Amino acid sequence: MQLDPSTGWFQGIGHCPSPNFNARPSGEVSLLVVHNISLPPGQFGTSKVQAFFQNRLPLDEHPFYAEIATLRVSAHFFIERDGTLTQFVSCLDRAWHAGQSWFEGRDNCNDFSLGVELEGTDEQPYTDAQYACLGELTRQLLAAYPALSAQRIRGHSDIAPGRKTDPGPAFDWSRLHAALKD
């Protein structure tokens, strides 16, 4: 995989463009936010995350889908359990992943962050393939965006405490930070 800085899209990975984005107000990328998601909750490999980020979730397939039908969300990246990486929004644009959020005295973290969704739940361990993919993706993002650093990688729970819990206690932060030193 290789980032094309002129477009903000990685080459060599899947693209599944989401309509749920807009322009960054300043062009700044200085925060990486790690999330988790599974649709239906706790089920993996369903392709429903992709449908959700494209506003195409089949509402009649699961009761939970009706609960989230009006949400318009996206992330820049999604890493499946097998390590498959998909990009939904250009790094140059603002994906709608953080919601009401705050980091180092600033609110609206979507304005200056990139969002990575891991297929998972707060309590289930993430896979080796996911950590390997996240490590490689993060190393490339750190190289491309000088305002990013290992100290500016946070969980959704860190920027929206009390509202969000992901990536949860199952996420091994030390494993991610060790991968960044490779």
pLDDT of residue 181: 86
Sign of CA pseudo-dihedral 123, 79, 135, 116: negative
- Ordered by where they begin, the domains of the chain are 2-179 (3.40.80.10)
Which residues are part of the catalytic machinery? 117
Separation of alpha carbons 139 and 122, rounded Å: 24
pLDDT at residue 126 tops 70: yes
Task: Give me the residues paired with residue 10 across strands.
Answer: 3
Segment 139-143 mean pLDDT: 97
Nearest of 128, 113, 102, 123 to residue 165 by alpha carbon: 123
pLDDT at residue 182 tops 70: no
DSSP-assigned states of every residue in 84-141:
-EEE-S-TTEEES-S-S-EETTEE-GGGTEEEEEEES-SSSPPPHHHHHHHHHHHHHH
Cβ neighbours for 22, distance < 8 A, ≥ 6 positions apart: 93, 94
Segment 13-40 mean pLDDT: 97
